[in-house]
Structure 1
Amino acid sequence: MPEQAGAVPDSQHPGLVGRLPGPVRGLALLARFDRPIGWQLLFWPGAWGVALAGGVFTRWPLLLWLALGSVAMRGAGCTYNDIVDRDLDAQVARTRGRPIPGGLVSVRAAWGWLLVLGLIGLVVLLQLHPLAAAVAIASLAPVAAYPFMKRITWWPQAWLGLVFSWAALVGWVEVAGGFGWPVALLYAGSVAWVIGYDTIYALQDREDDALVGVRSSALRLGRQVRGGLALFYLAAVTLWAGALWLARADPLALVALTPAAGHLAWQVATLRPDDGAVALARFRSNRFTGLLVFLACVVVGS
């Protein structure tokens, strides 16, 4: 698979966002509108839940609402994270140019922007049935706790996995009307997947994180990072296979997952832990993993 071009540090803002007026550009950068990979990774587990529950064709507008919610809530999460981490960001080369430490957006304006994004998320929430809406609201507590995890555990990526996989529960419950073992395994597999890809992302910051005292799975795994990544990805594929099998006990369920498994194996095989550009490209390639798992869920859930 070819390398992805355009990998840039957070201090740069190419394209349309870079041409916006200063204050507006600051808000767009705060929500990471210039970096769609984040909301895409947040969206895919929700789409999996909808597809595996059999709602991809009958409830297709739900996918659009989940996409809007992913953009808004990822933006809100990043804004909140930057408010909390503004002092740490100022000490890390890749993040010291972010809007708050860079002086482009005040903390007060960031709180106001967070409120606006939260209101957009509320509009999406109102489209859901009460149980699914309650599941979505329950995510707010782990979201609020996430920025502090890097200060107290070597595995903040595991907490991020809980947060970034939550939409799988929302999508499934909205279509199926309740919980079940397939979505439990789907969610657990997504958590393992997120730990894997966010460990890859954290490779870019290992030196700075060690200097400022920030913890991460990339630092904890050290030289064993590729082996650890392989184990997390293997766990993800195994759990997803279980979810698909419970939804449809047919060998086709396992065959449908083969492309996603192959893509994750390619990431592990071609990762160069000491090359930040390669790490960022492998991280970003997980948008395709999300698509491949979605297609597998469509096959099984249809």
Structure 2
Amino acid sequence: MSVARTRFALYLDLIRWNRPAGWLLLLWPTLSALWVAAGGFPGWRLVTIFTLGTILMRSAGCCVNDVADREFDRHVKRTAGRPVTIGAVSVREALALAAVLALAAFGLVLLTNALTVALSFAALAITVAYPFAKRVVSMPQAVLGVAFSFGIPMAFAAVLGQVPALAWWLLVGNLFWVLAYDTEYAMVDRDDDLKIGMKTSAITLGRFDVMAVLMFYLALIVVWGWALRQQGFGAVWGVALVLALAQVAWHAQMIWQRTREGCFRAFRLNHWIGLTLFAGVVLDVWMRGKL
């Protein structure tokens, strides 16, 4: 039993179970899309499918990422102790776990409709491609942005059976958010990544990194603000946008000196921006339903 418990603990470490901020970053925009598409509460069935699917796919992505980056991670302070990197979990084990998690997520998607199932294949392909994009793409965070935003068109497809232009606008806005927080993340490892030849947005942007992060945040707020204003969202949504902007100002303070601690803290707190926007969507829809 002790050996089994040890393996289980290693698997939990591999999927970052003790760091829920990662899957919350995917969950809030996906739930926001569900509420927008449904014009209110989409029902517990879809909420459960997309919540569990988000957790499972993020966990599978961690497994694939750690396998792909195992030779690089040993040279980065933050990642040197990961289970695959130190050999505590084998490559075969990690990939098997990823496959099980992805299949479980696919089983959930099968409970929706054909369009959502089709979109799930595209989402999986982008998720698998991301770890390798860091070798060839100067801003691989853009690839991650697409992967982390694909729950939005899938949510619209599950509710409406189609993906309207609004869904793609929300995806674009969310992509800017991913660029913002994952650049903060990349700023933590910049010194190590430069030594090993890894490509990241923090390296590509250079001394313009902080300004770019703030512009990415503003792009999120402008795109989502405009897109949902066209759908009749009003004062409550406006308050949510102002609160999100206040958090952006807070992030500017945390990353201004480019310290590892400040940038990592900023990254970890990003899910509060997502929660703020989600709460704004839910409350605005609810208030308009009462009028």
Query: What is the deviation of 1:256?
Result: 3.8
Query: What is the deviation of 1:222?
Result: 1.8
Separation in 1 of the partners of 2:136 and 2:21?
A: 27
Distance 1:222 1:273, change over 3 A: farther
Q: Contact 2:59/2:101 (CA < 8 Å) preserved in 1?
A: yes
**Counterpart among 142, 145, 153 of residue 169 in structure 1:** 153
Q: Contact 1:182/1:246 (CA < 8 Å) preserved in 2?
A: no
**What are the within-5 Å matches in structure 2 for residues 271-282 of structure 1?**
271-282=255-266
Query: What is the deviation of 1:149?
Result: 1.2
Listed as ranges, the gaps of 5+ residues in structure 1 are 1-19
Q: Secondary structure at the match of 1:97?
A: coil
Amino acid at match of 2:62: C
Query: Which residue number in structure 2 is paired with residue 77 of structure 1?
Result: 61
Query: Which residue number in structure 2 is paired with residue 128 of structure 1?
Result: 112
Query: Which residue number in structure 2 is paired with residue 221 of structure 1?
Result: 205
Query: What is the deviation of 1:37?
Result: 1.0
Query: What is the deviation of 1:205?
Result: 0.4
Separation in 1 of the partners of 2:36 and 2:245?
A: 18
Q: Secondary structure at the match of 1:53?
A: helix
Q: 4+ residue runs of structure 1 moved beyond 6 angstroms?
A: none
Q: Deviations over 1:30-83 (max 9, x none)?
A: 111121111111111210111112354242332222111111111100101111
Query: Which residue number in structure 2 is paired with residue 3 of structure 1?
Result: none
Amino acid at match of 1:157: Q
Q: TM-score normalized by structure 1? A: 0.88
Query: What is the deviation of 1:223?
Result: 2.0
Q: Deviations over 1:120-154 (max 9, x none)?
A: 11221122122122222221221121011111122
Amino acid at match of 2:134: K
Aligned-pair identity in percent equals: 36
Q: Deviations over 1:93-122 (max 9, x none)?
A: 221211112121011111221121122112
Query: Which residue number in structure 2 is paired with residue 239 of structure 1?
Result: 223
Query: What is the deviation of 1:278?
Result: 1.5
Q: Contact 1:192/1:233 (CA < 8 Å) preserved in 2?
A: yes
Q: Secondary structure at the match of 2:189?
A: helix
Aligned length, in residue pairs: 284
Query: What is the deviation of 1:273?
Result: 4.3
Higher helix share: 2
Q: Which moved more, 1:245-254 or 1:234-243?
A: 245-254
Query: What is the deviation of 1:287?
Result: 0.9
Amino acid at match of 1:193: W
1:210 aligns with 2:194: yes
Listed as ranges, the gaps of 5+ residues in structure 2 are 287-291
Separation in 1 of the partners of 2:104 and 2:279?
A: 28
Distance 1:23 1:252, change over 3 A: closer
Query: Which residue number in structure 2 is paired with residue 16 of structure 1?
Result: none
Separation in 2 of the partners of 1:251 and 1:79?
A: 42
Separation in 2 of the partners of 1:45 and 1:249?
A: 16
Query: What is the deviation of 1:239?
Result: 0.5
Query: Which residue number in structure 1 is paired with residue 174 of structure 2?
Result: 190
Distance 1:173 1:257, change over 3 A: farther
RMSD: 1.9
Separation in 2 of the partners of 1:61 and 1:195?
A: 31
Separation in 1 of the partners of 2:5 and 2:42?
A: 42
**Counterpart among 89, 105, 118 of residue 89 in structure 2:** 105
Q: Contact 1:244/1:254 (CA < 8 Å) preserved in 2?
A: no
Q: Secondary structure at the match of 2:217?
A: helix
Q: Secondary structure at the match of 1:101?
A: coil
Q: Contact 2:152/2:171 (CA < 8 Å) preserved in 1?
A: yes
